[in-house]
Structure 1
């Protein structure tokens, strides 16, 4: 289970074509965070060196389980590159270059390989199950393979650059309503998903579904306004329906209009089930 960041030498050499989804994701982030609009788009890259691991690791980033990445200090020395700076952002892609998430570095440490902690290993691997042993096994193999290219060998006291980060995009929810520690969450698709849906279903089905989505949103807002419940606007990219009594996972092939990509989550509002309030039961 490797979870290594690419060698800086690889990132600096021969730039590759950037996928359009990378630009689109950065534009979406800028729309939600106007203060970032004037900033240069950050670098985009994927974890590891193969499709299986790259796609698995970025999925762990999106769901919040992976919150760290490791590289050798020697890589930065050889490349003449600066260590990552706190506050720096990166756009993480899957192996084919499609943008999946934006991360922001919150802490950078240099730690000898043999002094990596179990807590850090869990942040990097995305699991707390035997995390340190898994981290050492995977990273020892990955680091040694890269060092062999220059005739070097991994030593137990070799410095590791430990980057800790948070996922800043996609954000958590489209809107969240809290009442006595109970919450209802509604979710809408982002621009990349809207484009994919329109391509898959065709314009007629797509716009019919969008009408459904807008109707459910309007009904929800009316209920909240009538109960004088405030809501907070943010964004998210997960689609499912959750009620207090049942959980229905929804995929893009479900035929029931807006259910394909809209959901509410919560217990009750004013002692009534949300779907009761919306007259959807």
Structure 2
């Protein structure tokens, strides 16, 4: 079975199990299936932070949504988070969305991501990520770049 087909099959089975076990309507849809970060090590580390309840938010470039033609998350959205290999591990539900310039993000905001002990380390790591993503997608990171800060809660995990 080709890897993409195998992953989609796993996602479909996972989603059906989620719907049954949480008593949701069969017509309930998820917005996206994704893993965090751009490397296997960080993707799996951040997934673990989500699964233990430490990571409760994520920050994305608004420019990436625009370039990829995808909509910005909305409160109530459901998404499936996978490990690096594409194995579904949990369902998150968006609880709040704030669009704010990178330079205006405070430690009070970014600490909800559960990744960093200081604002400076958050800024350094996210600047690195946005520069790498920007190189791949065709946008340039600036301090004024709008960031989509999405709060979420885990509503299901295996």
TM-score (norm 2): 0.87
Q: CA deviation at 1:122?
A: 1.2
Residues 104 and 168 of structure 1 are in contact (CA less than 8 Å); yes or no, is this contact kept in structure 2?
yes
Give the distance between the partners of 1:86 and 1:152, measured in 2 at CA. Answer: 26
Give the distance between the partners of 1:137 and 1:48, measured in 2 at CA. Answer: 14
Name stretches of at least 5 consecutive residues in structure 1 with no aligned partner. Answer: 1-15, 171-236, 238-281
Q: CA deviation at 1:91?
A: 0.7
1:119 is aligned to 108
Matched length: 154
Q: Measured at CA, do residues 20 and 152 of structure 1 come closer, stay the same or move farther in structure 2, by a change above 3 Å?
A: closer
1:53 to 18, 35, 42: 42
1:129 to 90, 93, 117: 117
Q: Measured at CA, do residues 120 and 72 of structure 1 come closer, stay the same or move farther in structure 2, by a change above 3 Å?
A: same
1:253 is aligned to none
2:84 is aligned to 95
1:139-191 per-residue CA deviation (whole Å, 9 max, x = no partner) reads: 10111122234664321111101111000012xxxxxxxxxxxxxxxxxxxxx
Q: CA deviation at 1:76?
A: 1.8
TM-score (norm 1): 0.51
2:74 corresponds to 1:85: yes
Q: CA deviation at 1:106?
A: 0.7
Give the distance between the partners of 1:128 and 1:53, measured in 2 at CA. Answer: 13
Q: Measured at CA, do residues 48 and 127 of structure 1 come closer, stay the same or move farther in structure 2, by a change above 3 Å?
A: closer
1:82-105 per-residue CA deviation (whole Å, 9 max, x = no partner) reads: 211111111100000111110000
Q: CA deviation at 1:49?
A: 1.3
Give the distance between the partners of 1:98 and 1:36, measured in 2 at CA. Answer: 23
Residues 64 and 137 of structure 2 are in contact (CA less than 8 Å); yes or no, is this contact kept in structure 1?
no
User: 2:14 is paired with a residue of what secondary structure?
Assistant: helix
Q: Which runs of 4+ in 1 moved over 6 A?
A: none
Residues 112 and 158 of structure 1 are in contact (CA less than 8 Å); yes or no, is this contact kept in structure 2?
yes
1:30 to 11, 15, 19: 19
User: 2:24 is paired with a residue of what secondary structure?
Assistant: helix
Give the distance between the partners of 2:147 and 2:137, measured in 1 at CA. Answer: 18
Say which structure, 1 or 2, has more relative contact order (CA 8 Å, 6+ apart). 2
Give the distance between the partners of 1:32 and 1:149, measured in 2 at CA. Answer: 39
Residues 33 and 80 of structure 2 are in contact (CA less than 8 Å); yes or no, is this contact kept in structure 1?
yes
